């Protein structure tokens, strides 16, 4: 199904860690694959229309996965070859116009959640880099540091390679660019669309540790 056709179709940690295959768990993830696919495609259609109409001025963007051929247009890609990003904080002071490369390392604050479900209407938070349940405090919290090419999902890596220092994005990642069709643990079921809040504090060249 191509892009034009898509335009026409118009979870606490302790809580889940202690869960087993109970009726309650089954209810939480009932029809999970379909719900996650629907959630992503609905947002894809919204983001795409705004992105195509406003271009670079849009706060909502559709970004092809880093592994896709660079010469392919969004119109030629499947929606699940892309991530969706909402720029909720734009860099006030751009140190440079550079963005991280695949071989670079980054310092980021992030929070990852699932889509809304019966017991978690805001989405179950399965991981975060900071202490507060609400949002990070740049004066207290220490950012996570890792390589863009490290052991992270393709959707997260894709987002990082398009961010500037000081920017904050909310990123929606289809399961194809997340943890796929296999349950990673009791925290993240198979077929999970992931929602990440990411704030890029800094990045540098992995080889020398230099900042741009």
The CATH code of the domain that includes 160 is 3.10.50.40
95 occurs within a structural domain: yes
pLDDT, residue 11, reads 32
Query: Which of the residue ranges 65-74, 144-153, 201-210 would you say has the lowest mean pLDDT?
Result: 201-210
* Percent of the chain residues past pLDDT 90, beyond the cut: 64
212 occurs within a structural domain: no
Tens digits of per-residue pLDDT, 34-52? 999 999 999 999 999 999 9
Torsion of CA 60, 118, 175, 46, to 10 degrees: -20
210 occurs within a structural domain: no
Tokens of 34: 């379909």
Regarding predicted confidence, which is higher, 9 or 72? Answer: 72
Q: In a 10 Å sphere around its CB, with 0-12 CB exposed, 13-18 middle and 19+ buried, how is residue 186 labelled?
A: middle
What mean pLDDT value characterizes the chain?
84
Mean pLDDT, range 107-120, rounded to an integer: 96
Tell me the pTM: 0.83
pLDDT, residue 23, reads 56
Tens digits of per-residue pLDDT, 11-27? 333 334 334 445 566 78
Tell me the C-alpha distance between 53 and 30, whole Å: 36
Tell me the C-alpha distance between 178 and 144, whole Å: 19
Domain that holds residue 51: 3-205
pLDDT, residue 102, reads 94
pLDDT, residue 174, reads 98
Tell me the C-alpha distance between 26 and 10, whole Å: 29
68 occurs within a structural domain: yes
Tokens of 99: 């963005």
Tokens of 207: 């080889």
167 occurs within a structural domain: yes
DSSP calls for 118-163: TTBTT--EEEESSS-SS---TTTPPPEEEETTSSS-HHHHHHHTTP
pLDDT, residue 135, reads 74
Q: Residue 1 pLDDT more than 60?
A: no
Q: How many folded domains does the chain comprise?
A: 1
211 occurs within a structural domain: no
* Percent of the chain residues past pLDDT 70, beyond the cut: 82
Tens digits of per-residue pLDDT, 83-105? 999 999 987 655 556 899 999 99
How many CB atoms within 10 Å of residue 206? 18
Regarding predicted confidence, which is higher, 194 or 11? Answer: 194
pLDDT, residue 8, reads 36
Tens digits of per-residue pLDDT, 158-191? 999 999 999 999 999 999 999 999 888 778 999 9
pLDDT, residue 139, reads 79
């Amino acid at each position: 199904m191509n892009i034009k056709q898509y335009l026409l179709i118009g979870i606490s940690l302790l809580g889940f860690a202690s869960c087993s295959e109970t009726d309650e768990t089954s209810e939480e993830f009932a029809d999970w694959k379909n719900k996650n696919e629907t959630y992503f495609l609905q947002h894809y259609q919204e983001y795409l229309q705004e992105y195509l109409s406003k271009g670079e001025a849009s706060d909502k963007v559709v970004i092809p996965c880093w592994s896709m051929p660079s010469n392919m247009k969004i119109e030629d890609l499947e929606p699940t070859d892309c991530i969706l990003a909402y720029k909720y904080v734009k860099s006030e002071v751009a140190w440079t116009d550079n963005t991280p490369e695949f071989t670079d390392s980054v310092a980021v604050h992030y929070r990852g959640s699932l889509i809304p479900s019966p017991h978690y209407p805001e989405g179950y938070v399965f991981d975060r880099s900071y202490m507060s349940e609400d949002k990070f405090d740049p004066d207290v919290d220490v950012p996570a540091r890792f390589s863009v090419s490290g052991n992270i999902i393709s959707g997260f890596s894709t987002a990082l390679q398009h961010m500037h220092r000081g920017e904050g994005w909310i990123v929606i990642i289809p399961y194809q660019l997340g943890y796929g069709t296999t349950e990673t643990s009791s925290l993240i079921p198979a077929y999970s669309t992931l929602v990440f809040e990411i704030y890029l504090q800094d990045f540098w060249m992995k080889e020398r540790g230099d900042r741009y």
